[in-house]
Amino acid sequence: MSYELIQVEIQGAVGLIRLHRPDAMNALSVALINEVGVALQALEQDEAIGAIVLSGGEKVFAAGADLKEMQSKAFTELYLTDFPQLPGSGWERLERRRKPVIAAVSGYALGGGCEMAMACDFILASNTARFGQPEISVGTLPGAGGTQRLARAVGKAKAMEMCLTGRMMDAEEAERVGLVSRIVPVAELEAEAIKTAARIAAMSRPIAMMVKESVDQAFESGLSAGLMFERRAFASSFSFEDRTEGMAAFAEKRRPEFKHR
Ligand code: HXC
């Protein structure tokens, strides 16, 4: 499959998807979102891939949904297509993904761009990253999880302020309030994200999936249900060959050789 609005690279067990629409600040047109969806699906189905990085390159992550394309849309079309949850689209795939996905954010991550980054498992930011939900300035509101994921990530006060005023958060503030896991110098961001993804990909794949599902439960359920989910997942990890190998390798003072089984 050849792509026009994204670039896809494979580096060892890591799949990199780079948004590439430089003339429009990587604005998320339907075509771009669909390309991300196709690429994610291909990487998820590729047994050689253990983790995925979603990047926008050095200058900008994404300045939001394509406002010029959206301008002429009407309620009926948005409702009937469940926009932006288009069938097979990037949003759908991001939200239902099983392999870990890291967002590498440099420059603006605004509106749908911020939402796309937050739909990933965690965000590594460069010192130039700026996050915002400025939809209110163009007469609408976040439509792909901005009010929900931002509030869960940074709490009510910051989320309310950002969504109500459109104020942007810089990388330092985003790290301080827990929106991003780490800040990396801009020139090193993509390489660091790939290195981090490679570290995850070297772990047992089914265990990494269970870790991800378990952490996600913390945001989907109450504490006792989440603890129960974790306990059951922990017990079921004992059915994997990789669990036997991991503990044997520790006892034998060697590196484990996971077979992803
Ligand atoms: C379409 C966009 C765009 C967008 C930038 N461009 N953002 N095109 N949709 N969201 C285009 C500009 O029109 C311009 O094209 C080129 O990219 C460069 O942008 P400038 O504005 O000239 O750059 P700058 O002055 O540096 O300002 C950067 C910016 C600003 C602060 C990011 O572009 C901006 O405010 N963009 C809109 C941000 C926004 O409101 N996002 C939320 C969208 S709503 P030309 O052809 O003129 O050179 C949304 C809803 C999500 O995301 C719903 C679910 C998906």
Beta sheet of 169-170, edge-to-edge order: 108-110, 130-132, 169-170
Strands annotated E in 89-219: 101-105, 108-110, 122-126, 130-132, 169-170, 182-184
Probe residue for ligand 1, chosen from 23, 25, 163 as the CB with the greatest number of ligand atoms within 8 Å: 25
Q: What is the pLDDT of residue 92?
A: 75
Q: Which residue, judged by its Cα, is nearest atom 51 of ligand 1?
A: 112
| Fold (CATH) for 204-252 | Lyase 2-enoyl-coa Hydratase; Chain  A, domain 2 (1.10.12)
Residue limits of CATH 1.10.12.10 in the chain: 204-252
List the structure tokens of 144: 């792909």
pLDDT digits (tens, 9 = 90+) for 87-131: 777 777 787 789 999 999 999 999 999 999 999 999 999 999 999
> Which positions ≥6 away from 83 have C-beta within 8 Å?
73, 77, 143
Task: State whether the beta carbon of 190 lies less than 6 angstroms from ligand 1.
Answer: no
Task: State whether the beta carbon of 24 lies less than 6 angstroms from ligand 1.
Answer: yes
- The residues annotated as belonging to the active site are 65, 112, 115, 135
Question: What confidence category does residue 86 fall into, taking pLDDT thresholds of 50, 70 and 90?
Answer: confident
Picking from 25, 1, 9, the residue whose alpha carbon sits closest to that of residue 194 is 9
How far apart are the CA of 73 and the centre of ligand 1, in A?
Answer: 17
Q: What percentage of residues in the chain have a pLDDT greater than 90? A: 92
CA–CA gap between residue 180 and residue 149 (Å, rounded): 13
Residue limits of CATH 3.90.226.10 in the chain: 6-201
**Domain 6-201 -> CATH class:** alpha beta
Instruction: Examine the pLDDT at 85 and tell me if it is beyond 90.
Output: no
pTM of the predicted model as reported, rounded to 2 decimal places? 0.96
pLDDT digits (tens, 9 = 90+) for 167-212: 999 999 999 999 999 999 999 999 999 999 999 999 999 999 999 9
> Which range (27-41, 80-94, 221-235) has the least confidence?
80-94
The overall average pLDDT reported for the chain is 95
How far lies 180's CA from each of 7, 172, 176, in Å? Answer: 24, 9, 8
> Would the CA dihedral through 170, 176, 180, 182 be positive or negative?
positive
How far apart are the CA of 20 and the centre of ligand 1, in A?
Answer: 14
